[in-house]
Amino acid sequence: MRKLVPLICIIVLLVSCSTTVSVPYMQPSVIDMGAYRNLAVASVVPYRGFSAPSRFVAGADIHAMGLRIYSGYSVSTASSVSEYATDYLYSLLTSTGFFNLLSPDITDAVLQRGLYGADISSEFQRLGYDAVLIPRITGMSVNETIYSEPYYEWWYDSDGVRHRRVEYNYYYRQIASIDYSLTIIDTETGAIVAQRTFSDSGKREGSLDFGWARLDDAGYLFRRMIRSFQSDIIRLLVPTAVEYNVSLMKNKPENKAAEAAYDAAKDGNLEHAESIFLDEWRNSRHLPSGYNAALLMAGTGNYDDAINLLSEINSAYSDADARSLYRDLVSIRTRNEQALQQVTGSGSVKVQGSDNANSVYAFVMGL
C-alpha cells in the first residue's frame, strides 16, 4: 500500500495535499566569469603518459591465462578521447549562451604561433577575447583483466555411476580512471584566473564472448566520464536558473476566510491567493496567511516584500518555519543578485597579475 501513496496524493490533491510554490532564482557560478565572457577555448590537451597496452589482456587465474584476447585500447585512445572531450566541452559552453566563444581551431592556432615567438596575450586581446580556457587531461589509466569461474556438470555412465565435470565460464573487466583540468588565463594580465580538476573512474564487465578478437573499446568508459562532468562544469562557469520549492503552510489554526486563498492556489491562481492571504494577515494576524503571502510573493521574484513581510511575522510570532523561510529567502536574494551581476558583469573584477608572457600558457599546457 505504501507505494500507492504518491499516486493517491495526486488524485486527491484538492482534498489532502499541500500546494507547493516554486521560488525561481539565479544561482551564481563558482567562478565569476562576468569579466571573461569573451572566452577563447583551446582543444583538450591529451594525456601524454598513456602507455601502450600489452598485446593480450592478462588472465587473472590459471584457466584464463591461456586465452588470447586483444586489449580494448591502444596508444591512440588518449588522442581520440581528447578530441571527443574538445567537441563536447565546446558544444556544452555554446549551449549555455553565456559566452562569446572563440573556437578551438582558431585558439589552437594562436597558441601554436606563441611557440614561434608571437605574443599570445596580445593576439587574443587583438581578437577581442578576455580569457583563454585551456582544458587538459592530466591523468588516464586502464586496467583490463579476464578471469574464469567454475561451474559443474553431472553425468551418469552406462553403469549408472554419477560423475562430475568441471567447466568454466569466462569474464572480462575493464576499469578506467581520468583526471581532467580546466584552467582559465586572463589575456590582459597573464594571471591564472582559476583552475579546477575533475576526476572520475568507471568500470565495465561481463561475459567473455570467444567470438571476439578483442575487448570492447575502453574509450567508451572515458567518454562516459567526460560527460559526467557536465553539471559540474556548468556550475563552475555559468550562472544557472534554479528553483526552491516550499509547500504552503497548512490552515492551522483554521481560518475560514483563508480557505478561498488555498483553493485559488490549488487552481493555480497564485496572484489572487496572495491577495487573499495578505488581506487576512493584515486583518487577523493569521500566521499561515502571512507566511503563505510571503511565499507567494517570493514565487513571483518579489524577494524584498516577501522578506519584509516575514520580518514582520517573526516580530509577532516565534515560528520555526517562518524563521527558516526568512533565512532561505535572504540567501536566495543574495545569490540571485550575485548571479545577475555575473550576467551583466557589473560586479565582476578581473584577476590582477604582472606577467603576461607566453610561459604561463606553455606551463598550463604542460609544454
In one-letter notation, the amino acid at residue 222 is F
Looking at per-residue pLDDT, the higher value among 65 and 30 belongs to: 30
Start and end residues for every CATH 1.25.40.10 domain found in the chain = 248-344
Grid coordinates representing 205?
564487465
CATH (one of 3.40.190, 3.30.420, 3.40.50, 3.30.1370) for 35-241: 3.40.50
Strand 38-41 with 162-186, pairing: unpaired
For the cut 90, the answer to whether the pLDDT of residue 102 exceeds it is yes
What average pLDDT does range 352-363 have in this prediction?
76
Range from 42-51, 101-110, 275-284 carrying the lowest mean pLDDT:
42-51
Which of 106-110, 155-159, 326-330 shows the lowest mean pLDDT across its residues?
155-159
Whole-structure pTM value: 0.81
CB burial string 144-175: b at 16+ within 10 A, e below: bbbbbeeeeeeeeeeeeeeeeeeeeebbbbbb
Q: What torsion do the CA atoms of 206, 211, 214, 217 make, to the nearest 10 degrees?
A: -60
Is residue 211 pLDDT above 80, yes or no? no
Position 352 confidence tier, pLDDT thresholds 50, 70, 90 = low
Q: Is the pLDDT of residue 291 over 80?
A: yes
348 or 269: which carries more pLDDT confidence?
Answer: 269
Please choose, from the candidates 344, 355, 350, the residue with its C-alpha nearest in 3D space to the C-alpha of residue 131: 350
Residue with cell 578551438: 104
Once rounded to an integer, what is the mean pLDDT over residues 342-366?
78
Q: What is the mean pLDDT of the chain?
A: 87
Would you say residue 335 has pLDDT above 70? yes
Chain-centre distance for alpha carbon 150 = 42
Instruction: Report the pLDDT value the prediction gives residue 5, as an integer from 0 to 100.
Output: 38
The pLDDT value given to residue 10:
32
**pLDDT tens for residues 125-183?**
999 999 999 999 999 999 988 887 887 777 777 777 787 878 888 888 899 999 999 99
Secondary structure (DSSP) of 65-122: TT---B-S--THHHHHHHHHHHHHHHHHHHHH---EEEPHHHHHHHHHHHTTT--HHH
Quick one: pLDDT at residue 202? Answer: 92
Q: Which residue has the higher pLDDT, 251 or 16?
A: 251
In this prediction, residues 46-56 reach a mean pLDDT of 82
Q: How far apart are CA 130 and CA 127, in angstroms?
A: 9
CA dihedral 251, 294, 310, 15 (to 10 degrees): 20
Give the Cα separation of 53 and 212 in Å (integer): 18
**Residue limits of CATH 3.40.50 in the chain:** 35-241
- Give burial (CB, 10 Å; 0-12/13-18/19+) of 333: middle
Give the pLDDT of residue 236.
96
The pLDDT, as a whole number, for residue 16 is: 35
| Residue 302 confidence class, pLDDT cut points 50, 70, 90 | very high
Q: What is the CATH number of domain 248-344?
A: 1.25.40.10
Cβ atoms of residues 176 and 141 within 8 Å: yes
Phi, psi of 198 (to 5 degrees): -115, 135
> Percent of the chain at pLDDT above 70?
92
Instruction: Give the model's confidence band at 205: pLDDT under 50 very low, under 70 low, under 90 confident, else very high.
Output: confident
Instruction: Provide the pLDDT for residue 353.
Output: 61
pLDDT exceeds 90 at position 345: no
Output the DSSP codes for 312-336.
HHHHH---HHHHHHHHHHHHHHHHH
pLDDT in tens, 269-286: 999 999 999 999 999 999
DSSP state of 269: -
Residue 355 banded pLDDT, cuts 50, 70, 90: low
Higher pLDDT, 141 or 355: 141
